[in-house]
Chains A and B, each alone.
Chain A
Amino acid sequence: MKINLKVWRQKNGNAAGKLVDYKLDNISPDMSFLEMFDVLNDELMHKGDEPVAFDHDCREGICGMCSMYINGRAHGPQTGATTCQLHMRSFADGDTVIVEPWRARAFPVIKDLMVDRSAFDRVVQSGGFVSVNTGSARDANETPIPRTIADEAMDAAQCIGCGACVAACKNASAMLFVAAKVSHLAVLPQGQAESSIRAERMVAQMDAEGFGACSFTGACSVECPKSISLDHIARLNREYLGAKITSEAV
Protein backbone atom coordinates (compact mmCIF):
# COMPACT_ATOMS: atom_id res chain seq x y z
CA MET A 1 0.00 0.00 0.00
CA LYS A 2 0.94 3.67 -0.47
CA ILE A 3 1.24 5.92 2.55
CA ASN A 4 1.79 9.69 2.60
CA LEU A 5 3.56 10.59 5.82
CA LYS A 6 3.86 13.97 7.49
CA VAL A 7 6.46 13.53 10.21
CA TRP A 8 7.63 16.03 12.81
CA ARG A 9 11.35 16.70 12.30
CA GLN A 10 13.28 18.67 14.89
CA LYS A 11 17.08 18.64 15.19
CA ASN A 12 17.18 19.06 18.97
CA GLY A 13 15.32 20.57 21.91
CA ASN A 14 16.28 24.13 21.01
CA ALA A 15 15.79 24.01 17.25
CA ALA A 16 12.47 24.86 15.61
CA GLY A 17 10.74 21.83 14.12
CA LYS A 18 8.31 21.26 11.26
CA LEU A 19 6.22 18.58 9.59
CA VAL A 20 8.05 17.02 6.61
CA ASP A 21 6.34 15.03 3.82
CA TYR A 22 7.48 11.53 2.89
CA LYS A 23 5.93 9.10 0.39
CA LEU A 24 6.18 5.34 0.90
CA ASP A 25 5.09 3.02 -1.92
CA ASN A 26 5.64 -0.54 -0.85
CA ILE A 27 4.10 -0.93 2.57
CA SER A 28 2.61 -4.26 3.57
CA PRO A 29 -0.65 -4.05 5.53
CA ASP A 30 0.83 -6.65 7.88
CA MET A 31 3.68 -4.37 8.94
CA SER A 32 3.52 -2.75 12.32
CA PHE A 33 3.57 1.04 12.40
CA LEU A 34 7.16 0.94 13.67
CA GLU A 35 8.23 -1.40 10.86
CA MET A 36 6.80 1.14 8.43
CA PHE A 37 9.12 3.68 10.09
CA ASP A 38 12.04 1.24 9.71
CA VAL A 39 11.31 1.16 5.98
CA LEU A 40 11.21 4.95 5.88
CA ASN A 41 14.51 5.22 7.77
CA ASP A 42 16.16 2.68 5.44
CA GLU A 43 15.15 4.77 2.47
CA LEU A 44 16.35 7.97 4.14
CA MET A 45 19.74 6.44 5.00
CA HIS A 46 20.19 5.14 1.45
CA LYS A 47 19.62 8.65 0.21
CA GLY A 48 22.13 9.93 2.75
CA ASP A 49 19.48 11.73 4.81
CA GLU A 50 19.17 11.70 8.57
CA PRO A 51 16.78 8.94 9.76
CA VAL A 52 13.78 9.88 11.91
CA ALA A 53 14.59 9.48 15.61
CA PHE A 54 11.84 7.65 17.50
CA ASP A 55 11.72 5.69 20.75
CA HIS A 56 11.05 1.94 20.77
CA ASP A 57 12.30 -1.10 22.61
CA CYS A 58 10.19 -4.22 23.19
CA ARG A 59 7.93 -3.88 20.14
CA GLU A 60 5.36 -6.05 21.91
CA GLY A 61 3.39 -3.55 23.96
CA ILE A 62 5.10 -3.89 27.32
CA CYS A 63 7.88 -1.30 27.59
CA GLY A 64 5.93 1.88 26.82
CA MET A 65 8.69 3.51 24.76
CA CYS A 66 6.96 3.87 21.39
CA SER A 67 5.49 7.35 21.87
CA MET A 68 3.88 8.65 18.68
CA TYR A 69 0.90 10.94 18.25
CA ILE A 70 -0.66 9.56 15.08
CA ASN A 71 -3.45 11.30 13.14
CA GLY A 72 -4.50 13.32 16.15
CA ARG A 73 -4.44 10.49 18.70
CA ALA A 74 -1.90 9.02 21.11
CA HIS A 75 -0.65 5.71 19.64
CA GLY A 76 -2.99 6.15 16.66
CA PRO A 77 -6.56 5.09 15.92
CA GLN A 78 -6.63 1.80 17.85
CA THR A 79 -7.63 1.79 21.51
CA GLY A 80 -5.95 -0.39 24.13
CA ALA A 81 -2.78 -0.61 22.05
CA THR A 82 0.67 0.94 21.78
CA THR A 83 2.23 2.17 18.53
CA CYS A 84 4.17 -1.06 18.12
CA GLN A 85 0.87 -2.97 18.30
CA LEU A 86 -0.70 -0.85 15.58
CA HIS A 87 -0.65 -2.36 12.10
CA MET A 88 -0.77 -0.71 8.72
CA ARG A 89 -4.04 -2.53 7.97
CA SER A 90 -5.64 0.07 10.26
CA PHE A 91 -5.04 2.57 7.44
CA ALA A 92 -6.32 2.71 3.87
CA ASP A 93 -4.17 2.70 0.75
CA GLY A 94 -3.12 6.26 -0.06
CA ASP A 95 -3.90 7.62 3.43
CA THR A 96 -2.09 10.68 4.76
CA VAL A 97 -0.73 9.98 8.23
CA ILE A 98 0.48 12.78 10.49
CA VAL A 99 3.00 11.77 13.17
CA GLU A 100 3.99 14.11 16.01
CA PRO A 101 5.83 13.69 19.30
CA TRP A 102 4.01 13.80 22.67
CA ARG A 103 3.35 17.46 23.45
CA ALA A 104 3.74 18.55 27.07
CA ARG A 105 5.83 21.06 28.97
CA ALA A 106 7.04 18.21 31.18
CA PHE A 107 8.04 16.08 28.14
CA PRO A 108 10.48 18.25 26.15
CA VAL A 109 11.39 17.06 22.65
CA ILE A 110 14.89 15.58 22.45
CA LYS A 111 14.89 14.99 18.71
CA ASP A 112 12.17 14.38 16.05
CA LEU A 113 9.62 12.08 17.71
CA MET A 114 11.64 11.39 20.87
CA VAL A 115 10.65 13.13 24.07
CA ASP A 116 12.27 13.16 27.49
CA ARG A 117 9.94 11.33 29.90
CA SER A 118 12.27 11.38 32.89
CA ALA A 119 9.66 13.51 34.68
CA PHE A 120 7.78 10.22 35.19
CA ASP A 121 10.91 8.64 36.71
CA ARG A 122 11.24 11.53 39.15
CA VAL A 123 7.58 11.19 40.16
CA VAL A 124 8.12 7.47 40.90
CA GLN A 125 11.41 8.21 42.70
CA SER A 126 9.54 10.61 44.97
CA GLY A 127 7.41 7.85 46.50
CA GLY A 128 6.30 5.12 44.11
CA PHE A 129 7.92 2.29 46.06
CA VAL A 130 7.86 0.34 49.33
CA SER A 131 10.94 1.31 51.36
CA VAL A 132 11.87 -1.96 52.97
CA ASN A 133 14.44 -4.41 51.75
CA THR A 134 12.36 -7.31 50.54
CA GLY A 135 15.27 -9.73 50.23
CA SER A 136 14.81 -12.75 48.01
CA ALA A 137 11.46 -13.81 46.60
CA ARG A 138 8.93 -14.86 49.26
CA ASP A 139 6.47 -17.66 49.14
CA ALA A 140 3.62 -16.46 46.93
CA ASN A 141 0.92 -17.02 49.56
CA GLU A 142 2.79 -15.75 52.59
CA THR A 143 0.55 -12.69 52.78
CA PRO A 144 -2.97 -13.75 51.82
CA ILE A 145 -4.71 -11.13 49.67
CA PRO A 146 -8.32 -11.44 48.51
CA ARG A 147 -8.72 -12.03 44.82
CA THR A 148 -10.66 -8.81 44.11
CA ILE A 149 -7.95 -6.68 45.75
CA ALA A 150 -5.16 -8.51 43.96
CA ASP A 151 -7.01 -7.89 40.67
CA GLU A 152 -7.49 -4.20 41.47
CA ALA A 153 -3.77 -3.84 42.21
CA MET A 154 -2.83 -5.72 39.06
CA ASP A 155 -5.09 -3.54 36.92
CA ALA A 156 -3.23 -0.46 38.15
CA ALA A 157 0.18 -2.14 38.02
CA GLN A 158 -0.29 -2.73 34.29
CA CYS A 159 0.72 0.89 33.63
CA ILE A 160 3.82 0.87 31.44
CA GLY A 161 4.66 4.55 31.90
CA CYS A 162 4.22 5.33 28.22
CA GLY A 163 2.82 8.84 28.74
CA ALA A 164 -0.13 8.45 26.35
CA CYS A 165 -2.38 9.77 29.13
CA VAL A 166 -0.38 13.01 29.26
CA ALA A 167 -0.23 13.21 25.46
CA ALA A 168 -4.00 12.75 25.08
CA CYS A 169 -5.10 15.04 27.92
CA LYS A 170 -6.05 18.59 26.95
CA ASN A 171 -4.23 19.74 30.12
CA ALA A 172 -1.19 17.47 29.65
CA SER A 173 -2.11 16.06 33.06
CA ALA A 174 -0.30 13.04 34.47
CA MET A 175 -3.10 12.10 36.86
CA LEU A 176 -3.81 8.68 35.35
CA PHE A 177 -0.15 7.69 35.53
CA VAL A 178 0.29 8.96 39.09
CA ALA A 179 -3.04 7.40 40.09
CA ALA A 180 -1.95 4.01 38.72
CA LYS A 181 1.34 4.19 40.62
CA VAL A 182 -0.30 5.28 43.88
CA SER A 183 -3.21 2.86 43.54
CA HIS A 184 -1.38 -0.41 42.91
CA LEU A 185 0.53 0.03 46.18
CA ALA A 186 -2.24 1.64 48.22
CA VAL A 187 -4.60 -1.33 47.95
CA LEU A 188 -2.02 -3.89 49.09
CA PRO A 189 -0.91 -4.44 52.71
CA GLN A 190 2.77 -4.04 51.73
CA GLY A 191 2.06 -0.56 50.38
CA GLN A 192 -0.47 0.69 52.90
CA ALA A 193 2.03 1.67 55.59
CA GLU A 194 3.43 4.44 53.40
CA SER A 195 0.33 5.31 51.41
CA SER A 196 -0.14 8.81 52.91
CA ILE A 197 3.37 10.08 52.40
CA ARG A 198 3.49 8.42 48.99
CA ALA A 199 0.40 10.27 47.74
CA GLU A 200 1.62 13.60 49.14
CA ARG A 201 5.10 13.32 47.64
CA MET A 202 4.07 12.00 44.27
CA VAL A 203 1.43 14.70 43.76
CA ALA A 204 3.90 17.40 44.83
CA GLN A 205 6.46 16.05 42.33
CA MET A 206 3.80 15.79 39.61
CA ASP A 207 2.96 19.48 40.12
CA ALA A 208 6.64 20.48 40.23
CA GLU A 209 7.25 18.80 36.88
CA GLY A 210 4.70 21.08 35.22
CA PHE A 211 1.90 18.66 34.40
CA GLY A 212 -1.64 20.09 34.25
CA ALA A 213 -4.58 19.43 36.58
CA CYS A 214 -7.29 16.83 35.98
CA SER A 215 -10.51 18.00 34.27
CA PHE A 216 -11.97 14.48 34.26
CA THR A 217 -12.43 14.46 30.49
CA GLY A 218 -11.60 10.73 30.46
CA ALA A 219 -9.33 11.09 27.40
CA CYS A 220 -6.43 9.44 29.30
CA SER A 221 -8.28 6.24 30.05
CA VAL A 222 -9.59 5.92 26.47
CA GLU A 223 -6.10 6.37 25.01
CA CYS A 224 -4.23 4.35 27.66
CA PRO A 225 -2.86 1.16 26.05
CA LYS A 226 -3.65 -0.68 29.29
CA SER A 227 -7.12 0.94 29.67
CA ILE A 228 -6.36 2.02 33.25
CA SER A 229 -9.67 3.04 34.85
CA LEU A 230 -10.65 6.49 36.12
CA ASP A 231 -11.50 4.74 39.41
CA HIS A 232 -7.81 5.00 40.22
CA ILE A 233 -7.87 8.79 39.84
CA ALA A 234 -10.72 8.91 42.36
CA ARG A 235 -8.62 6.76 44.70
CA LEU A 236 -5.62 9.08 44.25
CA ASN A 237 -7.84 12.04 45.15
CA ARG A 238 -9.04 10.21 48.28
CA GLU A 239 -5.52 9.16 49.24
CA TYR A 240 -4.14 12.65 48.74
CA LEU A 241 -6.91 14.53 50.53
CA GLY A 242 -6.96 11.99 53.35
CA ALA A 243 -3.19 12.24 53.67
CA LYS A 244 -3.22 16.04 53.73
CA ILE A 245 -5.76 16.04 56.54
CA THR A 246 -4.31 13.22 58.65
CA SER A 247 -0.61 12.73 57.89
CA GLU A 248 2.23 13.61 60.27
CA ALA A 249 3.89 15.86 57.69
CA VAL A 250 2.97 19.39 58.78
Chain B
Amino acid sequence: MDLVDFPAMGRSDLREMRIAIDGAFREFTRAYGETLENIFHPIQLLLVFIEDLLIDSPWILVLAALAGLVWALGRNLKIVGGTVLALLAIGYFGMWEDTMRTIAMVAVCTLIAVVIGIPTGILMARSDRANATVTPILDMMQTMPSFVYLIPVVMIFGLGKVPGVIAVVIYAVPPIIRLTNLGIRQVPADVLEAAEAFGSSARQKLTDVQLPLALPTIMAGVNQTIMMSLAMVVVASMIGVRGLGQPVLQAINNQYFTLGVMNGLAIVAIAIIFDRATQAYGKRLQKHLEAVHG
Protein backbone atom coordinates (compact mmCIF):
# COMPACT_ATOMS: atom_id res chain seq x y z
CA MET B 1 0.00 0.00 0.00
CA ASP B 2 1.17 3.49 -0.74
CA LEU B 3 1.72 5.25 2.58
CA VAL B 4 2.97 8.56 1.21
CA ASP B 5 -0.05 9.69 -0.72
CA PHE B 6 -3.22 10.09 1.32
CA PRO B 7 -5.98 7.82 0.03
CA ALA B 8 -8.22 10.74 -0.96
CA MET B 9 -11.49 10.24 -2.74
CA GLY B 10 -11.08 10.48 -6.49
CA ARG B 11 -10.65 13.83 -8.14
CA SER B 12 -13.71 13.41 -10.33
CA ASP B 13 -15.84 12.25 -7.38
CA LEU B 14 -14.79 15.30 -5.44
CA ARG B 15 -15.67 17.54 -8.33
CA GLU B 16 -19.05 15.96 -8.71
CA MET B 17 -19.74 16.35 -5.03
CA ARG B 18 -18.91 20.05 -5.19
CA ILE B 19 -21.03 20.56 -8.24
CA ALA B 20 -23.93 18.77 -6.59
CA ILE B 21 -23.77 20.86 -3.42
CA ASP B 22 -23.24 24.14 -5.27
CA GLY B 23 -26.10 23.25 -7.58
CA ALA B 24 -28.43 22.48 -4.71
CA PHE B 25 -27.52 25.73 -2.98
CA ARG B 26 -28.05 27.67 -6.19
CA GLU B 27 -31.46 26.04 -6.49
CA PHE B 28 -32.21 27.11 -2.92
CA THR B 29 -31.09 30.65 -3.70
CA ARG B 30 -33.26 30.80 -6.76
CA ALA B 31 -36.28 29.48 -4.87
CA TYR B 32 -36.00 31.43 -1.64
CA GLY B 33 -33.64 34.30 -2.38
CA GLU B 34 -36.39 36.80 -2.96
CA THR B 35 -38.34 35.79 0.13
CA LEU B 36 -35.23 36.14 2.26
CA GLU B 37 -34.48 39.51 0.72
CA ASN B 38 -37.97 40.68 1.59
CA ILE B 39 -37.61 39.47 5.15
CA PHE B 40 -34.38 41.38 5.59
CA HIS B 41 -35.56 44.48 3.75
CA PRO B 42 -36.46 46.39 6.97
CA ILE B 43 -32.76 46.33 7.88
CA GLN B 44 -32.01 48.15 4.67
CA LEU B 45 -34.69 50.74 5.42
CA LEU B 46 -33.40 51.31 8.94
CA LEU B 47 -29.82 51.64 7.79
CA VAL B 48 -30.72 54.07 5.01
CA PHE B 49 -32.84 56.09 7.43
CA ILE B 50 -30.03 56.50 9.96
CA GLU B 51 -27.51 57.20 7.23
CA ASP B 52 -29.68 59.92 5.72
CA LEU B 53 -30.37 61.40 9.11
CA LEU B 54 -26.67 61.66 9.92
CA ILE B 55 -25.61 62.91 6.48
CA ASP B 56 -28.46 65.29 5.62
CA SER B 57 -28.72 67.02 8.99
CA PRO B 58 -26.54 70.10 9.62
CA TRP B 59 -23.15 68.77 10.70
CA ILE B 60 -23.09 70.94 13.80
CA LEU B 61 -26.29 69.32 15.06
CA VAL B 62 -24.95 65.83 14.41
CA LEU B 63 -21.75 66.72 16.21
CA ALA B 64 -23.73 68.05 19.18
CA ALA B 65 -25.95 64.96 19.26
CA LEU B 66 -22.98 62.59 19.19
CA ALA B 67 -21.22 64.58 21.91
CA GLY B 68 -24.43 64.51 23.95
CA LEU B 69 -24.72 60.74 23.54
CA VAL B 70 -21.14 60.22 24.66
CA TRP B 71 -21.81 62.45 27.68
CA ALA B 72 -24.96 60.53 28.55
CA LEU B 73 -23.07 57.24 28.47
CA GLY B 74 -19.85 58.16 30.23
CA ARG B 75 -20.51 61.42 32.15
CA ASN B 76 -16.92 62.23 31.44
CA LEU B 77 -15.92 65.59 29.96
CA LYS B 78 -12.53 64.34 28.76
CA ILE B 79 -14.15 61.71 26.59
CA VAL B 80 -16.64 64.26 25.24
CA GLY B 81 -13.80 66.68 24.42
CA GLY B 82 -11.86 63.96 22.62
CA THR B 83 -14.96 63.01 20.66
CA VAL B 84 -15.57 66.57 19.48
CA LEU B 85 -11.93 67.09 18.46
CA ALA B 86 -11.77 63.77 16.60
CA LEU B 87 -14.99 64.47 14.69
CA LEU B 88 -13.86 67.99 13.78
CA ALA B 89 -10.59 66.60 12.39
CA ILE B 90 -12.49 63.92 10.46
CA GLY B 91 -14.73 66.57 8.92
CA TYR B 92 -11.82 68.85 8.12
CA PHE B 93 -10.03 66.11 6.21
CA GLY B 94 -13.12 65.42 4.12
CA MET B 95 -14.19 62.12 5.66
CA TRP B 96 -17.41 63.31 7.31
CA GLU B 97 -19.84 61.53 5.01
CA ASP B 98 -18.00 58.20 5.00
CA THR B 99 -17.65 58.36 8.76
CA MET B 100 -21.39 58.95 9.16
CA ARG B 101 -22.09 55.92 6.94
CA THR B 102 -19.80 53.79 9.06
CA ILE B 103 -21.36 55.02 12.31
CA ALA B 104 -24.82 54.23 10.93
CA MET B 105 -23.65 50.77 9.91
CA VAL B 106 -22.07 50.03 13.30
CA ALA B 107 -25.14 51.33 15.11
CA VAL B 108 -27.50 49.09 13.15
CA CYS B 109 -25.24 46.05 13.45
CA THR B 110 -24.88 46.57 17.20
CA LEU B 111 -28.60 47.00 17.60
CA ILE B 112 -29.28 43.73 15.76
CA ALA B 113 -26.54 41.98 17.70
CA VAL B 114 -28.11 43.12 20.98
CA VAL B 115 -31.59 42.04 19.91
CA ILE B 116 -30.33 38.58 18.93
CA GLY B 117 -27.55 38.24 21.47
CA ILE B 118 -29.19 39.05 24.81
CA PRO B 119 -32.13 36.61 24.50
CA THR B 120 -29.76 33.92 23.23
CA GLY B 121 -27.44 34.55 26.15
CA ILE B 122 -30.36 34.36 28.59
CA LEU B 123 -31.45 31.06 27.07
CA MET B 124 -27.93 29.66 27.40
CA ALA B 125 -27.73 30.76 31.03
CA ARG B 126 -31.00 29.04 31.81
CA SER B 127 -30.42 25.75 30.08
CA ASP B 128 -27.21 23.75 30.11
CA ARG B 129 -28.46 21.94 27.04
CA ALA B 130 -28.80 25.22 25.10
CA ASN B 131 -25.38 26.20 26.40
CA ALA B 132 -23.82 23.01 25.09
CA THR B 133 -25.52 23.42 21.70
CA VAL B 134 -24.82 27.08 21.09
CA THR B 135 -21.22 27.26 22.34
CA PRO B 136 -19.69 25.29 19.42
CA ILE B 137 -21.71 27.35 16.96
CA LEU B 138 -20.25 30.51 18.50
CA ASP B 139 -16.77 29.00 18.30
CA MET B 140 -17.34 28.35 14.63
CA MET B 141 -18.69 31.85 13.98
CA GLN B 142 -15.61 33.36 15.58
CA THR B 143 -12.96 31.22 13.89
CA MET B 144 -14.41 30.68 10.44
CA PRO B 145 -12.64 33.16 8.10
CA SER B 146 -15.23 35.80 7.34
CA PHE B 147 -14.66 35.50 3.59
CA VAL B 148 -16.06 31.98 3.72
CA TYR B 149 -19.48 32.95 4.95
CA LEU B 150 -19.50 35.97 2.68
CA ILE B 151 -19.90 33.52 -0.22
CA PRO B 152 -23.38 32.16 0.61
CA VAL B 153 -24.52 35.57 1.89
CA VAL B 154 -23.55 37.19 -1.41
CA MET B 155 -25.09 34.32 -3.38
CA ILE B 156 -28.43 34.94 -1.69
CA PHE B 157 -28.45 38.71 -1.36
CA GLY B 158 -26.02 39.89 -4.01
CA LEU B 159 -23.87 42.93 -3.22
CA GLY B 160 -25.18 45.70 -0.99
CA LYS B 161 -25.91 46.89 2.49
CA VAL B 162 -27.97 43.96 3.78
CA PRO B 163 -25.41 41.23 3.08
CA GLY B 164 -22.85 43.53 4.66
CA VAL B 165 -24.91 43.86 7.81
CA ILE B 166 -25.50 40.11 7.97
CA ALA B 167 -21.80 39.37 7.58
CA VAL B 168 -20.87 41.90 10.25
CA VAL B 169 -23.50 40.63 12.68
CA ILE B 170 -22.38 37.01 12.26
CA TYR B 171 -18.87 38.10 13.08
CA ALA B 172 -19.73 40.46 15.93
CA VAL B 173 -22.60 38.81 17.80
CA PRO B 174 -20.71 36.03 19.68
CA PRO B 175 -19.19 38.21 22.44
CA ILE B 176 -22.53 39.66 23.44
CA ILE B 177 -24.07 36.18 23.63
CA ARG B 178 -21.16 34.78 25.59
CA LEU B 179 -20.98 37.66 28.04
CA THR B 180 -24.74 37.76 28.64
CA ASN B 181 -24.57 34.06 29.48
CA LEU B 182 -21.52 34.55 31.69
CA GLY B 183 -22.97 37.60 33.45
CA ILE B 184 -26.16 35.79 34.39
CA ARG B 185 -24.34 32.68 35.52
CA GLN B 186 -22.08 34.81 37.73
CA VAL B 187 -24.92 36.25 39.79
CA PRO B 188 -24.20 35.13 43.38
CA ALA B 189 -26.26 32.10 44.39
CA ASP B 190 -27.17 33.55 47.78
CA VAL B 191 -28.73 36.67 46.25
CA LEU B 192 -30.77 34.50 43.89
CA GLU B 193 -31.83 32.34 46.82
CA ALA B 194 -33.01 35.45 48.64
CA ALA B 195 -35.13 36.45 45.65
CA GLU B 196 -36.56 32.95 45.59
CA ALA B 197 -37.29 32.95 49.32
CA PHE B 198 -39.40 36.07 48.87
CA GLY B 199 -41.51 34.28 46.29
CA SER B 200 -40.16 35.73 43.04
CA SER B 201 -41.29 34.13 39.83
CA ALA B 202 -38.70 33.13 37.26
CA ARG B 203 -39.43 36.29 35.28
CA GLN B 204 -39.13 38.51 38.37
CA LYS B 205 -35.80 36.91 39.19
CA LEU B 206 -34.59 37.63 35.67
CA THR B 207 -35.67 41.26 35.48
CA ASP B 208 -35.10 42.24 39.11
CA VAL B 209 -31.90 40.44 39.90
CA GLN B 210 -30.16 38.55 37.13
CA LEU B 211 -30.20 41.10 34.32
CA PRO B 212 -29.35 44.14 36.49
CA LEU B 213 -26.48 42.29 38.13
CA ALA B 214 -25.27 40.96 34.77
CA LEU B 215 -25.57 44.35 33.08
CA PRO B 216 -21.93 45.44 33.52
CA THR B 217 -20.79 42.17 31.96
CA ILE B 218 -23.36 42.50 29.18
CA MET B 219 -22.06 46.00 28.51
CA ALA B 220 -18.55 44.59 28.14
CA GLY B 221 -20.07 42.34 25.47
CA VAL B 222 -21.69 45.28 23.72
CA ASN B 223 -18.36 47.06 23.76
CA GLN B 224 -16.62 44.10 22.12
CA THR B 225 -19.39 43.77 19.58
CA ILE B 226 -18.96 47.41 18.55
CA MET B 227 -15.21 46.98 18.22
CA MET B 228 -15.61 43.88 16.10
CA SER B 229 -18.19 45.55 13.84
CA LEU B 230 -15.73 48.35 13.22
CA ALA B 231 -13.00 45.86 12.46
CA MET B 232 -15.26 44.39 9.79
CA VAL B 233 -15.97 47.61 7.87
CA VAL B 234 -13.14 47.06 5.39
CA VAL B 235 -14.20 43.49 4.71
CA ALA B 236 -17.82 44.60 4.40
CA SER B 237 -16.81 47.23 1.86
CA MET B 238 -15.73 44.40 -0.44
CA ILE B 239 -19.37 43.42 -0.82
CA GLY B 240 -20.60 46.91 -1.40
CA VAL B 241 -21.04 48.53 2.00
CA ARG B 242 -20.15 52.19 1.69
CA GLY B 243 -18.27 54.06 4.38
CA LEU B 244 -14.72 54.36 5.64
CA GLY B 245 -13.90 50.84 4.46
CA GLN B 246 -14.28 51.69 0.79
CA PRO B 247 -11.48 54.27 0.52
CA VAL B 248 -9.23 51.90 2.46
CA LEU B 249 -9.99 49.15 -0.06
CA GLN B 250 -9.36 51.57 -2.90
CA ALA B 251 -6.09 52.59 -1.29
CA ILE B 252 -4.97 48.96 -1.05
CA ASN B 253 -5.78 48.30 -4.68
CA ASN B 254 -4.04 51.43 -5.97
CA GLN B 255 -1.31 51.84 -3.36
CA TYR B 256 -2.59 55.25 -2.15
CA PHE B 257 -0.68 55.40 1.11
CA THR B 258 -2.09 58.67 2.52
CA LEU B 259 -5.69 57.85 1.68
CA GLY B 260 -5.36 54.50 3.43
CA VAL B 261 -3.78 55.95 6.55
CA MET B 262 -6.29 58.80 6.86
CA ASN B 263 -9.34 56.57 6.64
CA GLY B 264 -7.68 53.97 8.81
CA LEU B 265 -7.09 56.60 11.48
CA ALA B 266 -10.70 57.73 11.21
CA ILE B 267 -11.81 54.15 11.94
CA VAL B 268 -9.44 54.05 14.90
CA ALA B 269 -10.77 57.37 16.17
CA ILE B 270 -14.41 56.31 16.21
CA ALA B 271 -13.40 52.95 17.67
CA ILE B 272 -11.74 54.73 20.56
CA ILE B 273 -14.76 57.01 21.05
CA PHE B 274 -17.18 54.07 21.15
CA ASP B 275 -14.87 52.09 23.37
CA ARG B 276 -14.27 54.79 25.96
CA ALA B 277 -17.92 55.83 26.07
CA THR B 278 -19.27 52.29 26.56
CA GLN B 279 -16.55 51.40 29.05
CA ALA B 280 -17.24 54.50 31.09
CA TYR B 281 -20.91 53.54 31.07
CA GLY B 282 -20.04 50.03 32.23
CA LYS B 283 -17.97 51.46 35.09
CA ARG B 284 -20.83 53.67 36.16
CA LEU B 285 -23.10 50.65 36.29
CA GLN B 286 -20.65 48.85 38.50
CA LYS B 287 -20.25 51.61 41.04
CA HIS B 288 -22.58 50.11 43.62
CA LEU B 289 -21.29 46.57 43.25
CA GLU B 290 -17.83 47.27 44.59
CA ALA B 291 -17.63 46.28 48.23
CA VAL B 292 -16.59 49.05 50.55
CA HIS B 293 -17.21 46.98 53.67
CA GLY B 294 -16.19 43.31 54.04
B and A form one assembly: no
Using a CB–CB cutoff of 8 Å, the interface residues on chain A facing chain B are none
